[in-house]
Amino acid sequence: MQRVFRLLPPIAVAILIASCDGLSGPDDSVPITGLPRELSIAEGKLIEADNRFAFKLFGAINQQAGDSNLFISPLSVGMALGMTYNGAAGTTQQAMQQTLELEGMTLEEVNQSYRDLIDLLRNLDSRVEFTIANSIWYRPEWAFEQAFLDVNREFFDAEVVGLDFDNPTAGEQVNQWVADNTKGKIDRIVADGPLYDLIMLLINAIYFKADWTSQFDKSLTEDGPFTLKDGSRTTAKMMWHKDPVSVWLYRDEGITIVDLPYGGRAFSMTILVPDSPQGIDALVGGLTQEQWSSWIAGLDSTGFVVSMPKFKLEYKIKLNDVLQGLGMAVAFAPGEADFTRMYVPGGIWIDWVLHKTFVDVNEEGTEAAAVTAVAMTVSAGPPSLIIDRPFVFVIREKFSGTILFMGKVMDPTAG
């Protein structure tokens, strides 16, 4: 077998709606050659906005990650913040709009486009398991705006749950939802136990599992050299196709782009490989929506025996610094954040945004999951104690210690 093409590990995994043909395989008899319907103008705008945010977010996180592995779901982050965006007003809304690249879109267009996109992606390929779940957990004693809860339930298909955040099982309830909606690949997003400081959690979970349209041959997987950024080499488990397969390929100056489809070809993994290992930083730093569109437009079908490493990654990052650096610092600022469309009295802000991901790329295909949680908090008010259950009371003279009366109240209305 002539080994003609060796790939570096992917740095970006994208959902690519593509018309790919000519690939062999038992599940390839009815390839998906396009969307079941045309995208609306607003949907097109939202996808472009999400992609611009994706490359911006990826670049900013990469500056923190340095030479470490990195794996995020911009769609998950964007959707969790999209729900939160519905509660923002004033300069906070403007800052989030700019950071999320949503200028030029009304809130109604954003919400409807997310609703349509969720439905489209969920049902696009029967051979790909792809789920999107959203939830909002709130303190029921807080008078959150019903319109805010309703719009997220309607357009983001969010499960809205009143939660006693002070209950010792509060964290476990949230984490169980996360585990259920990621098939156990991400089992927690908050600490188990009470969540005293929080008044609301807005969570997105995404799960993806798909077989390659042309799978790698497990019997050919072997140790092989992999060149690191500094020029040194390590050994990786390299997967191989047994025979040449049809892939979509594009070569630009200093880079090769290869597109490997899943299932019926609506979803794919697009891999960007710099000619030199040292070129990875420039590649990430130069990623833009415009450059991406140019590369994708240049993809063309060709035949290769493809080899790439199999790998499994788990990644976690607190996004506060990244998002503040991208322009929405006001949303994290006590006394400045304006979420009055979520809670009219105001005084609440984003405490933290946590993002966790998982990916397993092997001979059969890819399994990936992501969770993004946006935590809302408020300044601590005067300590309060609500005596709202049966109690005992004692009337005493405190200096002598004499007890004058004792009582027990089971029902204060009984007389």
CA distances from 384 to 203, 228, 230, 237, 387 (A): 29, 58, 58, 59, 10
CB 14 within 8 A of CB 315: no
Token representation of residue 248: 């979509």
Q: Is 365 a domain residue?
A: yes
Q: DSSP label at 283?
A: H
Q: Is 394 a domain residue?
A: no
H helical segments located in 100-216:
107-122, 146-155, 170-181
Q: Is 398 a domain residue?
A: no
CA 213/CA 303 separation, integer angstroms: 14
CA 342/CA 331 separation, integer angstroms: 13
- Pick the closest to residue 208 from 268, 254, 152, 250 (CA basis): 268
Which run of H or E residues covers position 312? strand 311-318
pLDDT (tens digit, 0 to 9) for every residue of the chain, 415 residues total?
333 344 433 333 333 333 333 333 334 458 888 889 999 999 999 999 999 999 999 999 999 888 889 989 999 999 999 999 999 999 999 999 999 999 999 999 999 999 999 999 998 899 999 999 999 999 999 999 999 999 999 999 999 999 999 999 999 999 999 999 999 999 999 999 999 899 999 999 999 999 999 999 999 999 998 888 888 888 889 999 888 888 889 999 888 888 888 999 889 889 989 888 888 988 888 889 899 899 899 999 988 888 889 888 899 999 999 999 999 999 999 999 999 999 999 999 999 999 999 989 899 999 999 999 999 998 755 444 556 567 665 566 566 565 455 565 667 676 5
CATH number for the domain harbouring residue 132 = 3.30.497.10
CA atoms within 13 A on the CB side of 111: 19
Which run of H or E residues covers position 248? strand 245-252
Q: Is 157 a domain residue?
A: yes
The C-alpha angle 92, 96, 101, rounded to 5 degrees, equals 150
Q: Is 412 a domain residue?
A: no
Q: Is 379 a domain residue?
A: yes
Tell me the backbone φ, ψ of residue 306, rounded to 5 degrees: -100, 140
Q: Is 93 a domain residue?
A: yes
pTM of the model: 0.86
Q: DSSP label at 278?
A: G
**Quick one: how many helices (H) and strands (E) in the chain?**
9, 16
Q: DSSP label at 306?
A: E
Sheet holding 128-138, edge to edge: 158-162, 128-138, 198-211, 365-378, 348-361, 311-318
Q: Looking at the 3D structure of the chain, how many domains does it have?
A: 1
- Pick the closest to residue 303 from 244, 258, 230, 354 (CA basis): 244
Domain that holds residue 30: 1-387
Q: Is 415 a domain residue?
A: no
CA 93/CA 75 separation, integer angstroms: 19
